[in-house]
Structure 1
């Protein structure tokens, strides 16, 4: 039931499509979404990475099944790969990723700064990450969203990301998307 609501609530769809648009996914990109829920953003990522690869992990088997149904054609075409696992048990990716997306999931991660460091190691130099937060606590306000954005910025900074910026989507409550880049490789 929760997956159906997440997939069909207009604000959830709007938030996911907006977040994907901010990542500037290119046709050949290799992208990972962490905590993909019913697969709305996975579908949007696959529509943009038409010659690339889209990976998704989620800790809920139910969400893997729902996202699998939503993305059947891309899975059959071997462009989308979904796994039932958690962020602290990442599968192996043969090549570096170009972009990573996490919508409303960082708050559930064990030791999020360490997880972000691991994710940074999976990104190519100058690879992009987007962490999205739309607070769902009772009485959430624009200030609640701003605090969540500052926390995400701090975590990304501590994990070694650079060029951190915040974008906001005017929903109720507002959505913050904190974007950052992996530093370029050190010269040898």
Structure 2
């Protein structure tokens, strides 16, 4: 898969959107990821006045609608794409101005140190691109509050492999593989829920997608 220069370029953009094509890719990712994001958000089971950290939020078009539904939540976003960090600020300016959302650029390896722990940590369709997953998970574990939940949302490997742009940059995870990795990193209360939805491909065909939300606590 991802055998042509065009498909390889799409794969690279999915890992880190850049330039004009990156803006188009970001819009596409929001449209295809939103159902996964909403399910991941629900699986965090945020308590009142919760603090959320999200890795790889893309253009973050989902953030303001979610925060308007939960007026007690504070959101922090981390992105490896400077372009997506800029877009997140633009699309969520009201929440930024009211100190309900902050967005930060990071290198994809080292999580910044935050003063307060997070009650929920969310990441949607990013784990495929993590170079050192256990190292990153250990850092996320340290950022969780005592009762906080990490929610990782990802496509099933069999579905992922049907996508034409999936190449060597993607590292698929089956639930049992991810659960084992979380256990090795010291997480507890690990559970996985599976969901089906329908996505429209570029050729306008509709495919049934299987995806998973794996949650864990420190």
User: What TM-score do the two structures reach when normalised by structure 1?
Assistant: 0.84
By relative contact order (CA 8 Å, sep 6+), the higher-ranking structure is 2
2:216 corresponds to 1:180: yes
* Deviation larger for 41-50 or 18-27: 41-50
2:131 corresponds to 1:105: no
Q: State the shift of 1:168 in Å.
A: 1.1
Q: Deviating runs (4+, > 6 A) in structure 1?
A: none
- Unaligned 5+ residue runs, structure 2? 1-23, 164-171, 198-207
Distance 1:40 1:181, change over 3 A: farther
Q: State the shift of 1:95 in Å.
A: 1.2
Q: State the aligned residue count.
A: 175
CA RMSD of aligned residues (A): 2.1
Q: Distance in 2 between matches of 1:117 and 1:86?
A: 16
Q: Distance in 2 between matches of 1:108 and 1:47?
A: 30
Distance 1:48 1:31, change over 3 A: farther
Distance 1:52 1:137, change over 3 A: closer
Work out whether residues 81 and 105 of structure 2, in 8 Å CA contact, stay in contact via their aligned partners in 1. Answer: yes
Other-structure match for 1:32: 53
Q: Distance in 1 between matches of 2:36 and 2:27?
A: 16
* Deviation larger for 70-79 or 11-20: 11-20
Work out whether residues 37 and 64 of structure 1, in 8 Å CA contact, stay in contact via their aligned partners in 2. Answer: yes
Work out whether residues 57 and 83 of structure 1, in 8 Å CA contact, stay in contact via their aligned partners in 2. Answer: yes
From 185, 194, 214, give the equivalent of 1:168.
Answer: 194
Q: Distance in 2 between matches of 1:157 and 1:115?
A: 14
Work out whether residues 40 and 213 of structure 2, in 8 Å CA contact, stay in contact via their aligned partners in 1. Answer: yes
Larger Cα-atom Rg: 2
User: What TM-score do the two structures reach when normalised by structure 2?
Assistant: 0.73
Work out whether residues 33 and 124 of structure 2, in 8 Å CA contact, stay in contact via their aligned partners in 1. Answer: no
- Unaligned 5+ residue runs, structure 1? 141-145, 183-188
Other-structure match for 1:6: 29
Q: Distance in 1 between matches of 2:176 and 2:42?
A: 21
Q: State the shift of 1:91 in Å.
A: 1.9
Q: State the shift of 1:42 in Å.
A: 3.2
Work out whether residues 133 and 149 of structure 1, in 8 Å CA contact, stay in contact via their aligned partners in 2. Answer: no
The C-alpha deviation readout for 1:142-168, integer Å capped at 9, x for no partner, is xxxx95222221111111111111111
